[in-house]
Amino acid sequence: MTPPTPLLKFRAGAWLLLLVAMIPVLLFYTVIWQQAVNVPLQDDYDALFEPVMALSHGPYSLAQVWKAYAAQDDERRIIVDRFVAHMHYLLTGHIDFRTQILIGSLVLLVVLAVFIAWFRRSKLPWIWTLPIPFVLFNMQYYDAVLWSMIPLQHIGVYVWALLAIWWLSRDTSRLFWLATVAAIISLFSDVTGVLILPVGALMLIATKRWQRLGIWLVIMGGLVAFYMHGLVVPSYRPSLSDNLHHPLTIAALWLAMQGLWADVLPHAGLPGRLVLTITLGLVAVGIWSSSLWNSVRTYVFTRQQPEGQELFLYGGLLMLLGTFTLFATGRALEGVDAAFISRYRVLYLLWFILLYLLILSRLNTKLTTNRLVSGGVVALSLLYCLTTYFQYWNDLTLFRHTLLTDLYGWRYNRVLPSSPIYLDHRPAIDTLFENGMKRGIFRYENPDIDSLRTALVVGQAEVVVNQLPTFISITVPRIPGGEAAAVPDAVFILLRTKTGAVHIFPTKATTYSPLMALRRQQYTTSPYASIPILRKYLRSSVYNVEVGVWRGKDKVRYQTPAVISF
């Protein structure tokens, strides 16, 4: 048999790399498909539900439609989000928050395509692309993809901005106009899209494209002014001057956000995590600032314009640095832990990938062609992906169960357990829900939680009740059913009144360490701690406490001797 030609070798290797790269992507979207639910959460009501309900009465003029799209939400306008929700309603006759999640999560494929396009134009071996999907596609930002308004807003704004920056880095007229369209979509996704205006302008100045700079400033500057007109900072947000009184917190936030990609132990102590992320943030500052300085010095002394590959990396890094700066100066009063929230982590992963590409572009050929080095980096990225799934899966399932119990709670008790703010906006939310369900615009789909109300009682369980002035917490100290029982898929707290009304609250299991999980071949164990149960939600004076358990398709209840009385 004749040996394969180099061309065939390349093609076989390229296909193998593609197949390996698709593993984390396919796993990511499989998890989303299984875990996403058609339930609105918190801001979804006025951000998506309310405008769709308002526009469902049509017909409306374009001006009225635009007013519904562009109405302020919190401190931003989320025009793209509302457009997609409205289009889905016009096509199907109802709003489906699960579909909104699935559509929104697909924008991550756009940024993956951008990174692959960057590699195509580089001279790097293709094996160096493998860490990108393993780093980007994992569940550490689970609530950013499973909260229906977030993907098209908080993820989309950076994806479309990076696409615009990529197209701006290519010096063609057609791509300039495509970049302008992507920049507009970024701006209409979230308020941080305004940063694409100065970033794009700096890129055009660096490459001396003066005519296009003028066009960019007119179009994007006009749209940014239009977007910001009438936009006000909500009264519950602290002012800039209040935040500026905490310069050390601002500096800590700004540095930590540049190293938060390495925060893979979310349940460890915050001080140690903060030291790690700030240290890596300082390293990141050293890397990008020294690289940028060398490029600027070359540009000044030799008049050599930056290449498209380099220009894209600097543009992306500047976009994210601008975001870090706005966040640090706007959230300093909330403390450094404000940056550690799960849904922001996609931002840190995009930052890390850009930093990774910047480092790769500076490595010598001897290192980039060394199979041991590249294989080691790929192995680390795989370990990173597996670690994040392990660390966040318990939180992810709690998030899903919280959404399901929210919808159950509203239907049967007029409560939203995860949303204390609901108590202040109950009439508006109840009106939305009732009208939406009456007209078929929102369809109630929650059979799993419903069945717990009347599930078979199979025994007794022990609970520990801790009553505090504003809320109640309940812990299940041991696996219901005895030590020989199979580990539950989920455990719920049921509060039952004498009249038969039932409140249901999810619990969070205790997670084993990775080594212990491998040794026991078990991910979680007792105790199971309920989410806080607000006393304001409980209108009866006496409740019997029960424990609901899911094991596969089986749903059973355990009675307890505990009674809550007020």
CA dihedral 35, 39, 40, 41 (to 10 degrees): -60
Q: What percent of the chain has pLDDT over 90?
A: 64
Pairing of strands 554-565, 456-460: parallel
Which residue type occupies 317? L
Nearest-10 crossing angle of helices 270-302, 308-330: 140
Distances 149 to 154, 155, 399 between C-alpha atoms, Å = 8, 10, 15
Q: Are 149 and 103 in contact (CB under 8 A)?
A: no
Residue 406 confidence (pLDDT) above 60? yes
Q: Are 338 and 196 in contact (CB under 8 A)?
A: no
Identify the pLDDT of residue 456: 93
Q: How far apart are CA 450 and CA 114, in angstroms?
A: 44
Tell me the backbone φ, ψ of residue 536, rounded to 5 degrees: -65, -25
Q: How far apart are CA 317 and CA 352, in angstroms?
A: 9
Cα three-residue angle 481-482-488, rounded to 5 degrees:
55
Identify the pLDDT of residue 90: 93
What would the two tokens of residue 539 be? 């209108």
Q: Residue 523: helix, strand or coil by DSSP?
A: coil
Question: Which residues, 6 or more positions from 547, have their beta carbon under 8 angstroms from its beta carbon?
Answer: 461, 463, 476, 480, 491, 492, 493, 494, 557, 558, 560
Cα three-residue angle 314-316-317, rounded to 5 degrees:
65
Identify the pLDDT of residue 490: 92
- Residue 30 neighbours by CB distance under 10 Å: 10
Q: Are 144 and 151 in contact (CB under 8 A)?
A: yes
Burial of 461 (0-12, 13-18, 19+ CB in 10 A): buried
Q: Residue 302: helix, strand or coil by DSSP?
A: helix
Bridge-partner residues for 563, per DSSP?
544
Residue 3 confidence (pLDDT) above 70? no
The mean of the pLDDT values for the chain is 91
Q: How far apart are CA 409 and CA 415, in angstroms?
A: 5
Identify the pLDDT of residue 6: 44
pLDDT digits (tens, 9 = 90+) for 300-354: 777 777 888 999 999 999 999 999 999 999 989 888 999 999 999 999 999 999 9
Residue 217 confidence (pLDDT) above 60? yes
Residue 7 confidence (pLDDT) above 70? no
Q: How far apart are CA 312 and CA 350, in angstroms?
A: 13
Q: How much is the average pLDDT of 27-36?
A: 94
Question: Which residues, 6 or more positions from 96, have their beta carbon under 8 angstroms from its beta carbon?
Answer: 38, 88, 443
Segment among 150-164, 293-307, 378-392, 515-529 with least mean pLDDT:
293-307
Q: How far apart are CA 69 and CA 220, in angstroms?
A: 19
Least Cα distance to 493 among 446, 552, 562, 421 occurs for: 562
Residue 407 confidence (pLDDT) above 70? yes
Least Cα distance to 340 among 279, 257, 406 occurs for: 257
Q: Rg of the Cα trace of the chain?
A: 26
Residue 8 confidence (pLDDT) above 60? no
Identify the pLDDT of residue 9: 45
Tell me the backbone φ, ψ of residue 80, rounded to 5 degrees: -60, -45
**Token match 């970024």: residue?**
186
Residue 4 confidence (pLDDT) above 50? no
Q: Measured on CA atoms in the order 494, 498, 500, 501, is the torsion positive or negative?
A: negative
Residue 14 confidence class, pLDDT cut points 50, 70, 90: low
Identify the pLDDT of residue 234: 80
Residue 444 confidence (pLDDT) above 90? no
Q: How far apart are CA 472 and CA 470, in angstroms?
A: 7
pLDDT digits (tens, 9 = 90+) for 516-530: 988 888 898 889 999
pLDDT digits (tens, 9 = 90+) for 73-121: 888 999 999 999 999 999 999 999 999 999 999 999 999 999 999 998 9
What would the two tokens of residue 172 be? 């063609």
What would the two tokens of residue 422 be? 């609901």
Q: How far apart are CA 362 and CA 366, in angstroms?
A: 12
What would the two tokens of residue 16 be? 């193998």
Distances 203 to 312, 318, 554 between C-alpha atoms, Å = 9, 10, 59
Q: Residue 326: helix, strand or coil by DSSP?
A: helix
Q: How much is the average pLDDT of 260-276?
A: 93
E-state strands within 48-159: none
pLDDT digits (tens, 9 = 90+) for 445-461: 766 788 899 999 999 99
